[in-house]
């Protein structure tokens, strides 16, 4: 399978696309492919998140936010579970190469999809693809490690395969852990801190047995707000924002809840299919967005989480 991928990548002029508000896993994956299989251009038509923007500046990674995908031999999409997550009017031709680690949504059916949803980060799959390339640069190693760190909550949600890849990259790149962590370090801004505190004040929660689900509204920094609610004692958190008729919800769960059977990615993927919105992610971190009412969607998320809590309490198997 990987031989087929490298054959498609080698020597072709290509565009590498990532999802909107691209995180470090997306950027690290795209950068590694661009450096190891030139010529390539990286496009993030929906912009970058704060961490990946900071890292691209530190490492000198060239990422364009306006995209012209025409006149290229190959389009590659990384770390993106659905074409709906790529912002802008971009024509992705059938047969384009898609490399991902999220639960398949069925929306890439006409593409050449390479997906392993057992991987904690897309950067792990990319490492398997590029590891035999000659003269891999130090910044490529750093970017891939950065992707693994961010998508595993600083390795809290890493599995054995992740740690093996992580160790191999550190050894091959002759890197120390403090170098990787310092690359990703960013102090919370006053606006982020204010958003989290306001979110806590607006929050509400429901309980089943020893399990708590908390929800809130925020105008920004939804992921940070979710983490704040978990730190305050919630087991599962959903934070939504509303901009005109478009909503966005971020969600987080503790690793203990994932072990007990919660899978936010499956929950929001199913909800997205039912509401014609775009949802998905991982067991402990997922999101959903689309046209709709944020409050109504939060209420549905709470109901489904409560149903899962009751199932866990009764000792039933997941449906």
Tell me if residue 183 falls in helix, strand or coil.
Answer: helix
- pLDDT for the residue 1: 66
Helix (H) or strand (E) holding 252: strand 246-253
Q: Do 125 and 119 form a contact (C-beta atoms < 8 A)? A: yes
> CB-based contacts of 235: which residues, under 8 Å, 6+ apart?
211, 212, 213, 253, 254, 256, 257, 262
Q: How is residue 236 annotated by DSSP?
A: E
> CB-based contacts of 38: which residues, under 8 Å, 6+ apart?
none
- pLDDT for the residue 6: 95
- pLDDT for the residue 188: 85
CATH 3.90.1640.10 domain span(s) along the chain: 2-184
Q: Record the tokens describing residue 230, joined without a space.
A: 């978990």
CATH 3.10.310.40 domain span(s) along the chain: 191-314
With a cut of 50, list the residues of the chain below it in pLDDT.
none
CATH 3.10.310.40 for the 191-314 domain, yes or no:
yes
CATH number of the 2-184 domain:
3.90.1640.10
Pairing of strands 236-243, 211-217: parallel
Please give the share of the chain, as a percent, with pLDDT higher than 70: 98
- Tell me, yes or no, if the pTM score tops 0.75: yes
Give how far Cα 217 sits from Cα of 31, 174, 227, 243, 283, Å: 34, 44, 14, 12, 22
pLDDT tens digits, residue range 257-277? 999 999 999 999 999 999 999
């Amino acid at each position: 399978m990987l031989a087929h991928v490298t054959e498609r990548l080698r020597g072709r002029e290509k565009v590498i696309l990532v999802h909107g508000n691209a995180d470090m896993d997306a950027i690290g994956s795209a950068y590694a492919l661009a450096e190891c299989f030139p010529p390539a251009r990286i496009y993030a038509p929906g912009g970058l998140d704060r961490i990946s923007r900071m890292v691209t500046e530190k490492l000198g990674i060239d990422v364009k936010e306006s995209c012209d995908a025409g006149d290229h031999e190959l389009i590659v999409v990384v770390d993106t579970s659905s074409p709906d997550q790529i912002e802008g009017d971009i024509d992705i031709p059938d047969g384009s190469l898609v490399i991902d680690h999220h639960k398949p949504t069925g929306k890439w059916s006409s593409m050449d999809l390479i997906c392993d949803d057992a991987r904690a980060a897309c950067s792990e799959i990319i490492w398997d693809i590029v590891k035999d390339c000659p003269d891999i640069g130090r910044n490529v190693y750093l970017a891939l490690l950065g992707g693994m760190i961010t998508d595993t909550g600083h390795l809290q949600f890493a599995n054995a395969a992740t740690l093996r890849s992580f160790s191999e990259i550190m050894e091959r790149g002759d890197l120390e852990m403090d170098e990787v962590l310092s690359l990703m370090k960013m102090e919370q801004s006053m606006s982020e801190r204010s958003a989290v505190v306001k979110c806590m004040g607006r929050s509400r929660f429901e309980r089943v047995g020893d399990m708590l689900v908390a929800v809130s509204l925020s105008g920004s920094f939804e992921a940070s707000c979710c983490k704040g609610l978990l730190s305050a004692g919630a087991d599962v958190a959903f934070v939504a924002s509303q901009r005109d008729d478009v909503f966005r919800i971020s969600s987080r769960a503790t690793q203990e809840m994932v072990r007990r059977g919660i899978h936010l990615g499956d929950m929001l993927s199913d909800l997205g299919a039912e509401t014609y919105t775009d949802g998905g992610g991982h067991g402990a971190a997922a999101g959903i967005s689309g046209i709709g009412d944020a409050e109504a969607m939060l209420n549905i998320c709470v109901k489904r989480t409560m149903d899962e809590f009751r199932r866990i309490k009764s000792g039933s198997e997941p449906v």
